[in-house]
Amino acid sequence: MGFADRHPMRPPGPVLGTILLGVATVAVGAWKAFDARGTTFALFLAAVIVVELFEEAGRERSREPVETERFQLAAAVQVAAVLLLGPWVAAFVAAAGVVAGAVIRGRAFVDVCFRAASFAVATAAAGGAFRLAGGHVGELKLLDDLIPLVALAVVYLTVRALLLDMVYAHEAFDPRVAWSLGEVAFGVVAALLAITHPWDVVLLVPLGLAVHHANLRVTRLQRETLRALETFANIVDERDPSTYRHSFRVAGYVDQLARALRLPFSDIDRLRWAGRLHDLGKVAVDASVLRKPGQLDREEWSAVRRHPRLSARLLQRFEFVKTQARAVELHHERFDGAGYYGVGDEDLPLAAHFLIVADSFDAMTSDRPYRPGVSRRDALAEIERNLGTQFHPTVGKAFVAVQRGFDPAEVLTADELAEIRSASAPYRLGAIRGRRDLKERPDLLALGGLVVLLAGLGFHETWLAALGAWVGASGVVLQLRARARSARLAHSLRAALHAPGRGAIFAALLDLIGKAWPLSWGALVAWDEDGLGGSIERQRGQGPPEEALLSWLVREAESGADAIVAAGAELGREGVVLALSLRRETSALVGFLVVEAPRLPPRHVELALRDATDEIGLALADAPASGGSGGEHAEPLEAAADRSDLVVARFDER
């Protein structure tokens, strides 16, 4: 779906300006093409057209949160054309490929013009950067031309992402660095082969086809998995006649609201599918409980209150929908913090507010065994009465406007609209601090040094070989040092496990770890048998809110990892949070040792924790609760303190 599908009116200034700039670029490229080598120009023109025809089928919008564009062979051909034909002719080649693919497949006129113009401008800009950095068209020598190639890659990827993602699709800036660098590298290889004998490029055709089919297969697997989850959601709905197609309607309400607010397409897709899959956890709730006409008892309410977390735990296992797992988990919360898990507005992602209002509206207007439904008019009035208590004021106001047939822009202020659009979907949390500290990855230093050494020998560059040898030797020395330090720390950690009681063990472990890796907080978490919650048994320092901690652990508990690491931003904190799984000999999960620190652990601490994880888990799982102060104690959570029927709005569903 392109701009024309979303905005049928005349394209805005930036889009129109890009198209005009692209037309001018292509015109210059057509004029310059008369001076290009005929054979090379014809081969690249044919290649880009064939590649576009191949890839166009897999690029159609699917309205699903799956990646349909990964490695683009067309981009690789465009890069190779820049190196062999120059920026202007390459721009003409890029635009010709887009137009040829659109003619065969059929696309909206504005979409074709903008896409062709974007690739033409990106290609021309990249070629200009290549020349300015010292590169020469038709000549390519690695190492000597490394800086020009880097300049080409940076400019091409940046301009393409700015135009296609930000200007046209209103998405966040995302140059897809990993895939995009592969496209540039593939194009450079094609250029190297074609410089002396153009027909050598034919050798890359099988590799390109293999990459293309691999992309299609991954996308197909994602779609098949998503359809399986959708079928699962349908089965859950059909268990109770009163909720038949409930998730389908909720997804429709969310989609309608997100489109009216003109959110980015990727956000709309994720929000809609979050609504579609938000009740998967009800599969664990007995159908008789869902159909019970009377008041639920304590155990029944406890089962109902667990279903959002189970839904989140299921979604967390699938990479392409896991970004909405937290929103799904919190779809029974309230703006004032009086929902199922007591999570308030500050800790609720905006996507959760979309689900909360849509889910409540459908529940109000549907007949349930325990009460009749109300009219749409009364339901919207109920939402208005609960703005700022149960519902997010801005999201709720926008939802009511959309359901009454108004544009949200007519009832929301410019600041309110900006608030929603700027916070529409924080899918990318801040990077974990310390990830890029190479001295903590001596294995990478050693391997990288070896690669540089071999490259220096291969190119007969003595200085490069010497640099590689020095880097590799440094990596080996750091690795040996980290191993020795980790062995000493692991021995100390095992010795601390003989302390009497969990409290003493907990305190001793934090002391030892804190000496090697400064900690800001630590906690011992007891875990429920059903895996959907727990309680902080004891802690040292001031940590994140208990509900935020448990929410994160619920989603990650079944990841299979002994050590779970997250950016502190996921729990509303700074730095990083690490949780060690505590398991009995039967592998049953009974708790977590959780610590928080400003940065990732040093290499030797990471190795020591990995070596001693099993012993730590067994010792803390089997040790008696008494013994040792263990720092500040926390009151255990009451098992499902039944407040749901008191705090959830009277029309909210079970």
The pLDDT of residue 497 is above 80: yes
Residue 434 has what pLDDT? 46
Q: What is the pTM of this model?
A: 0.72
Instruction: Calculate mean pLDDT across residues 438-462.
Output: 79
CB proximity list for 220: less than 8 A, separation 6 or greater: none
Residue of 454, 470, 489, 486 whose CA lies nearest to 603: 486
Quote the crossing angle between the two packed helices 414-422 and 393-403, to the nearest 10°.
100
Structure tokens given for 169? 């699709």
Residue of 46, 34, 32, 117 whose CA lies nearest to 80: 46
Residue of 39, 55, 46 whose CA lies nearest to 101: 55
The pLDDT of residue 107 is above 90: no
Residue 56 has what pLDDT? 54
Q: What are phi and psi of 36, to 5 degrees?
A: -80, 160
CA distance 96 to 612: 60
Residue 440 has what pLDDT? 64
Structure tokens given for 400? 């009511």
In terms of pLDDT, which residue wins out, 200 or 460? 460
Q: Which residue bears the tokens 């919650």?
A: 533
Contact by Cβ (8 Å): 98, 26: no
Q: Which of 68-82, 420-434, 627-641 has the highest mean pLDDT?
A: 68-82
Question: Measured in Å, how far apart are the chain's first and last C-alpha atoms?
Answer: 37
Q: What domains appear along the chain, each with residue ranges and CATH number?
A: 3-221 (no CATH), 244-428 (1.10.3210.10), 440-491 (no CATH), 494-633 (3.30.450.40)
Q: Return the amino acid letter for 256.
A: Q
Q: Return the amino acid letter for 183.
A: E
Q: Which residue bears the tokens 């994140």?
A: 544
The pLDDT of residue 75 is above 70: yes
CA distance 364 to 400: 14
Q: Which residue bears the tokens 């659109």?
A: 102
The pLDDT of residue 339 is above 60: yes
Residue of 90, 348, 51, 316 whose CA lies nearest to 208: 51
Q: H or E stretch including 294? A: none
Q: What are phi and psi of 73, to 5 degrees?
A: -65, -30
563-567/521-527 β-pairing: unpaired
pLDDT band at 555 (very low <50, low <70, confident <90, very high): confident
CA distance 84 to 251: 50
Q: How many other C-beta atoms are found inside a 10 Å radius of the C-beta of residue 495?
A: 11
On average, the pLDDT of the chain sits at 81
pLDDT band at 628 (very low <50, low <70, confident <90, very high): very low
**Tens of pLDDT, residues 227-260:** 888 888 888 888 877 677 889 899 999 999 999 9
Provide Rg for the chain, Cα atoms: 29
